[in-house]
Structure 1
Amino acid sequence: MSGRIVDYELYEVPPRWLFLRVETSDGVVGWGEPVVEGRAHTVRTAVEELLDTYLLGKSPDSIEDHWQTMYRGGFYRGGPVLMSAIAGIDQALWDIKGKRFGAPVYDLLGGTTRDRIRVYQWVGGDRPNRVADAAREKVDAGFTALKMNATAELRRVDSPAAIDEAVARLAAVRDAVGNEVDIGVDFHGRVSKPMAKRLAKALEPHEPMFIEEPVLPEHNDVLPEIARHTTIPIATGERMFSRWDFKEVFRAGSVDVIQPDLSHAGGITEVKKIADMAEAYDVAMAPHCPLGPIALASCIQVDAVSPNALIQEQSLDIHYNETSDVLDYLADASVFEYRDGYVDLPDGPGLGIDIDEEHVRAKAGNVDWHNPVWRHEDGSVAEW
Structure 2
Amino acid sequence: MQLYSLCFILDRAGSSSGHRTGRDPVSIIERAEVLVTSPGRNFVTLRITTSDGVTGLGDATLNGRELSVVAYLQEHVVPLLIGRDPQKIEDTWQYLYRGAYWRRGPVTMAAISAVDIALWDIKGKITGQPVYQLLGGATRVGALAYAHASGSDLPSLFTSIRNHLDQGFRAIRVQTGVPGLGQVYGVGTNQKVGEKYDYEPAKRSTVPLEEEWDSAAYLQHIPAVFEAVREEFGWSLPLLHDAHHRLTPNEAASLGKSLEPYRLFWLEDCTPAENQEALRRVRSQTTTPLAIGEVFNSVFDYQTLITEQLIDYVRSAVTHTGGISGLKKIMDFAAIYQIKSGFHGPTDISPVGQAAALHLDLAIHNFGIQEYMQHSAPTLEVFQTSYTFENGLLHPGDNPGLGVEYDDALAGTFEYQPAYLPVNRLALDGTLHDW
Runs of 4+ in 1 over 4 A off after TM superposition: 125-129, 150-155
1:376 aligns with 2:426: yes
Q: How far, CA to CA, are the matches of 1:174 and 1:325 in structure 2?
A: 36
Q: Which residue identity does 1:304 align to in structure 2?
A: L
Unpaired stretches in structure 2, ≥5 consecutive residues? 1-25, 179-183, 185-211
| 8 Å Cα contact 2:361/2:367 also seen in 1 | yes
Are 1:12 and 2:43 matched, yes or no? Answer: no
Question: Residues 47, 223 of structure 1: CA spacing in aligned structure 2 closer, same or farther, 3 A cutoff?
Answer: same
Q: Is the 8 A contact 2:130 2:398 kept in 1?
A: yes
Relative to structure 2, which stretch is displaced further, 240-249 or 36-45? Answer: 240-249
For normalisation by structure 1, the TM-score amounts to: 0.91
User: Of the candidates 326, 349, 373, which is equivalent to residue 400 of structure 2?
Assistant: 349
Residues 108 and 287 of structure 1: is their aligned pair in 2 closer, same or farther, counting only changes over 3 Å? Answer: same
Superposed CA deviations along residues 225-247 of structure 1, whole A, max 9, x for unmatched, are 21121111111111111122222
- Shift of the 4–218 alpha-carbon distance from structure 1 to 2, 3 Å rule, reads closer
Q: Which moves more between the two structures, 255-264 or 118-127?
A: 118-127
- Larger Rg computed on CA atoms: 2
Match of 1:278 in 2: 334
**Residue in 1 aligned with 2:181?**
none
What secondary structure sits across from 1:228 in the alignment? Answer: helix
Change in 2 beyond 3 A, CA 1:373/1:154: closer
Look up the SS of the partner of 1:96 in the other structure: helix
Deviation at 1:219, TM superposition (A): 2.3
Tell me the CA shift for residue 65 of structure 1. Answer: 0.9
The letter of the residue matching 2:34 is: E
Specify the alignment match of 2:6 in structure 1. Answer: none
Distance 1:104 1:125, change over 3 A: farther
TM-score normalised to structure 2 length: 0.81
Equivalence for 2:352: 294
> What residue identity is the alignment partner of 1:148?
V
Provide the residue aligned with 1:83 in structure 2: 109
Task: After superposing the two structures, state which structure 1 stretch, 291-300 or 23-32, moved more.
Answer: 23-32
| Cα displacement (A) at 1:126 | 10
Contact 1:61 1:97 in 2 (8 A): yes
Shift of 1:58: 2.0
Q: CA RMSD for the aligned pairs?
A: 2.2
Shift in Å, 1:154: 4.5
Measured after TM superposition, the shift of residue 89 of structure 1 is: 1.4
Aligned to 1:96: 122
Question: CA offsets per residue over residues 263-299 of structure 1, 9 Å max, x none?
Answer: 0000001111111111111111111111221011000
Match of 1:304 in 2: 362
Q: Which residue of 2 aligns with 1:139?
A: 165
Q: 2:135 — aligned with what?
A: 109
Evaluate the alpha carbon distance shift between residue 103 and residue 216 of structure 1 in structure 2; reply closer, same or farther with a 3 A threshold.
same
Per the TM alignment, residue 344 of structure 1 is displaced from its structure 2 partner at its CA by 2.4
- Answer whether contact 1:268 1:298 (CA < 8 A) is retained: yes
Deviation larger for 14-23 or 168-177: 168-177
Change (3 A) 1:87 1:125: farther
Q: Could you list the runs of 5+ residues in structure 1 that have no partner in the other structure?
A: none
Q: Mean alpha-carbon deviation: is it higher for 99-108 or for 166-175?
A: 166-175
Corresponding residue for residue 297 of structure 2: 241
Q: Is the 8 A contact 2:250 2:281 kept in 1?
A: no
- Which deviations, in whole Å up to 9, do the C-alpha atoms of 1:191-246 show, x marking residues without a partner? 12121112111111111110011111212211122112111111111111112222
Once the 2 structures are TM-superposed, how far is the Cα of residue 114 of structure 1 from its aligned partner? 1.4
Aligned residues: 373
